[in-house]
Amino acid sequence: MSRQLNPSQVWTQYPVASRLVEVNTKTGFSLTAGSYAVLASSTQGGVINVGSAYSNTATISSVTTTRATVYYGGGTYAVAAGNDGGSRITLTNATTVTANRGTNSGDQETGYRVNEFF
């Protein structure tokens, strides 16, 4: 990102980089992890319409899979699909939730919720 610099901005010589850099005077204080708390850090969810297919996916905000869990949020099924046994929800990767089912007949909506823990 580049933009026109304000001539009144403060500049200094940073010894490591050996080049002119702007000094950030806007930050009053800084906090590392452990110095602050996080509220409702990562909960997201939705509904996947599997349609007339065996599976479908939803794209989600990125999570760290080793500390995230996906929950089944219930499902609705077309009346004609009497043999539909429900669906299986999987956190496929950091940005994908997959809904699978055993048939591809009839329409199906599958709810899901992804929680990430810290």
Partner 1 sequence: MNSSSVSTVTRHLAWFAVETGTWIGEWCGTVPAPVVPPSVSGDARLLRLNAWLQELQSYITPDGSPYEMESQAWDLQRWDACPVGGAVCVDVTTHGWPVGDFRWATFNVVDRRLTFSESHLYLQVSTDTLQLDVNHTSGRPVQTTDTKLVADVTDTAFAPWHGQLFGRFVSKGGRLVFLPRDPGRFPEIVSHAVTDQHPALAVLASLDQARLALESAHR
- Tell me how far, at minimum, the Cβ of 24 lies from partner 1, in Å: 5
- Tell me how far, at minimum, the Cβ of 118 lies from partner 1, in Å: 7
Distance CA 68, CA 61 (A): 12
Check binding of 8 to partner 1 (CB under 8 A).
Answer: no
Which of 7, 39, 92, 117 contacts partner 1 by CB under 8 A? 39
Check binding of 16 to partner 1 (CB under 8 A).
Answer: yes
Give a three-class secondary structure readout of 46-92: EEEECCCCCEEEEECCCCCHHHEEEEEEEEEECCCCCCCCCEEEEEE
Looking only at residues 59 through 98 of this chain, which bind partner 1 when binding is defined by CB under 8 A? 59-64, 95
Give the number of residues in contact with partner 1, rule: CB under 8 A.
Answer: 52
The count of other CB atoms within 10 Å of the CB of residue 109 is: 17
The count of other CB atoms within 10 Å of the CB of residue 28 is: 5
Check binding of 106 to partner 1 (CB under 8 A).
Answer: no
Q: Are 68 and 10 in contact (CB under 8 A)?
A: no
Binding site for partner 1 (CB under 8 A): 1-3, 5, 14, 16-17, 19, 21-51, 56-64, 95, 107, 109, 118
